[in-house]
């Protein structure tokens, strides 16, 4: 991962994105997504009866080649797909959206629970076993997400009312009710900053020339650190599209970095 951005996605920006592209709701974004109907639990079990975490990563949560990781609330999934289409149609940039590529971890969890966590009656689940299975699948999913964030060149977080709460009046901090968004924001801050070779070369040349709920629910607030993300707005997106002269994704990402002065901050 090289850089992270925060896009405050509102209705006006969404309308602009749909207007700029040949919008197709829920259009598939990648061709190598997981076909969840072909995946069988037996293919994840080792000869000794244990489940294989490695096989889960390979079959349910494989790493794919994308330029951008879109972090978002699952309630904004269609909006994330709209943004991904806009990026691809205008810049050739391929986006990773976990539910589009991998499907939902809960489907894998159900398969595991039916085979490993049922009580002897076959109708109810063992509470302790369910706690263990859930912990394992959530850890496997989070580690897969972190790997994809590290593999992509940049993370774009969609800041919406569904993903981020208004600032706490006392602490003056943003918060989120989603542990997944908390985790993605945390790791996007902690992950190593991997500067692409083409930008390293560019920085070196510049240095040489000059001598980068309706019902009451259990809600837990997590801190949502946004300070490390470069803010994007509708004007930035319009400028990016207007200045683009190519459909080559890496050149277009370089243009975005230039517009937001990302290279200068990383180059110091």
- Write out pLDDT tens, residues 163-178: 998 777 677 788 999 9
Alpha carbons 54 and 61: distance in angstroms, whole number = 10
SS3 (DSSP) at 70:
strand
Predicted pLDDT of residue 268: 44
Structure confidence at residue 41 as a pLDDT band (50, 70, 90): confident
Beta bridge partners of 71: 157
Task: State residue 213's pLDDT score.
Answer: 45
pLDDT band at residue 203 under the 50/70/90 scheme: low
- 78: exposed, middle or buried (Cβ count in 10 Å: 0-12, 13-18, 19+): exposed
Dihedral sign for Cα 108, 215, 77, 65, please: negative
Task: Name which of 170, 163, 154, 169 is nearest 228 in CA terms.
Answer: 154
- 51 vs 37: CA distance, rounded Å: 19
Each residue's pLDDT tens digit, 79-103:
999 999 999 989 999 999 998 888 7
Residue 8 pairs with which residues in a beta bridge?
A: 159
Model pTM score: 0.78
Greater confidence (222 vs 69) lies with: 69
pLDDT of residue 12: 93
Burial tier of 134 (Cβ tally within 10 Å: 0-12, 13-18, 19+): middle
88-97, 183-192, 212-221: lowest mean pLDDT where? 212-221
Q: Would the pLDDT of 17 be above 60?
A: yes
Q: Is the pLDDT of residue 215 over 70?
A: no
What is the model's pLDDT at position 220?
Answer: 67
Is the pLDDT score of 229 beyond 50? Answer: yes
Domain ranges of the chain: 3-267
Distance of CA 109 to CAs 83, 98, 102, 114, 233, Å?
29, 16, 13, 9, 38
Which tokens in the block code for residue 155? Answer: 């993370």
Distance CA 77, CA 90 (A): 20
Quick one: pLDDT band at residue 21, thresholds 50, 70, 90? confident
Quote the mean pLDDT of the chain.
Answer: 86
| pLDDT at 28 (0 to 100) | 47
């Amino acid at each position: 991962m090289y850089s992270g951005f925060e896009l405050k996605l509102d209705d006006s920006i969404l309308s602009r994105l749909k207007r700029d592209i040949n919008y197709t709701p829920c259009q598939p974004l990648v061709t190598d997504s997981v076909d969840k109907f072909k995946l069988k639990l037996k293919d994840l079990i080792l000869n000794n009866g244990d489940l294989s975490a490695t096989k889960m990563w390979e079959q349910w949560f494989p790493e794919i080649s994308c330029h951008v990781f879109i972090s978002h609330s699952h309630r904004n999934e269609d909006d994330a797909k709209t943004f991904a289409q806009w990026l691809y149609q205008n810049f050739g940039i391929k986006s990773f959206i976990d539910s589009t590529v991998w499907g939902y971890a809960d489907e894998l969890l159900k398969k595991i629970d039916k085979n490993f966590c049922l009580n002897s009656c076959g109708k109810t689940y063992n509470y302790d076993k369910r706690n263990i299975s859930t912990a394992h699948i959530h850890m496997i999913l989070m580690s897969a997400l972190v790997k994809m964030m590290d593999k992509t060149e940049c993370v774009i977080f969609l800041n919406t009312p569904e993903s981020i709460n208004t600032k706490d009046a006392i602490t003056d901090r943003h918060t989120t009710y989603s542990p997944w968004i908390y985790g993605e924001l945390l790791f996007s801050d902690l992950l190593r900053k991997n500067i692409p070779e083409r930008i390293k070369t560019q920085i070196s040349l510049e240095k040489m020339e000059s001598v980068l709920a309706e019902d009451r629910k259990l809600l837990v607030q997590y801190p949502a650190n946004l300070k490390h993300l470069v803010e994007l707005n509708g004007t930035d997106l319009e400028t990016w599209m207007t200045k683009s002269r190519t459909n080559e994704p890496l050149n277009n990402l370089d243009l975005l970095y230039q517009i937001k002065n990302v290279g200068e901050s990383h180059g110091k």
